Amino acid sequence: MDKSKFKFVWIIIFLIIFISGSFITLDWARLFIVKEELKYHRFLYTYIAKFLIVILSTTLVFIIGKNGLSYSDTKNLKFIYIFIILADISLVIFKEPYIGIILFSIVQLRLISRNGSAILKNFTIDKSKVLSNNIFINIVLATVLFMLIIMKIANNLMKESTLFYILQFYVILLSTSLLIAIANLLLKIFPRPNSILVTIGMFFFVLCDLNVGLTMALQLGNFSLITDSLIWMFYTPALTLIALSGYNYYEN
């Protein structure tokens, strides 16, 4: 990576940290507003700033160029982040979340393909022993527990079966995507820096969506404000880390 691109990447990372810090502060400040009718009012700045985070993280992907793991990997990430933008826009402009959830499902399917395709090609009996250790089993059980929690939330929340089944499909994909990322790390499929970034990014993605589910299920109150404020605390690093996982950190 040449020096000019290196500096540009760090400028984007700094902007992401600065902008996210500003709107996260505003999100949490709602807890201290005395007037109840103002507590649940979102500042226009937070909408703009959050969308800027999506654009900036997408920019990190689109400037990878020759500094990526491979041409196909960079192409995959570009596809993923275009659909992330479309999904976030649809959740804002459409009253019902159907399209947004479907688009995010496409994102997770592409992440599963990106992080897992090489696992099948390089899988051996010796590598299967790595996945059978206690750490991986505990992670699988924790992921299954996460799925059950989300399904319980969804079951209590959804009055119509269509939305419930769409959400159920997304949770299965999200959990699978997390497990694939962890398997990628344990089996050393990607270079270690990249697999660490992918795994941590997917953990943040899961925590983000868990808080989205809680916010949807809870009645308006301080607890729902807390879960709502946590969403972008996890979503911002998820977007940034997965974008950064596309760079080749071992190139000269």
Measured between alpha carbons, how far is 88 from 99 in angstroms, rounded to an integer? 10
Q: Kindly tell me if the per-residue pLDDT of 49 is higher than 50.
A: yes
Q: Each residue of 160-185: pLDDT tens digit? A: 567 777 877 888 888 888 888 888 88
Residue 111: closest CA among 213, 5, 242, 249 = 242
Q: Which is it for the CA torsion 3, 57, 202, 19, positive or negative? A: positive
CB-CB neighbours of 156 under 10 Å: 8
What integer best gives the mean pLDDT of the chain? 83
Q: Kindly tell me if the per-residue pLDDT of 153 is higher than 50.
A: yes
Question: Average of pLDDT values for 109-127?
Answer: 74
Q: Give how far the C-alpha of residue 116 lies from the chain's centroid of Cα atoms, to the nearest Å.
A: 17
pLDDT for the residue numbered 187: 81
Measured between alpha carbons, how far is 16 from 3 in angstroms, rounded to an integer? 20
Question: Average of pLDDT values for 40-66?
Answer: 90
Q: Kindly tell me if the per-residue pLDDT of 79 is higher than 60.
A: yes
Tokens of 30: 């709602």
Contact 73, 114 (CB under 8 A): yes
Q: Each residue of 11-38: pLDDT tens digit? A: 999 999 999 999 999 888 888 876 666 6
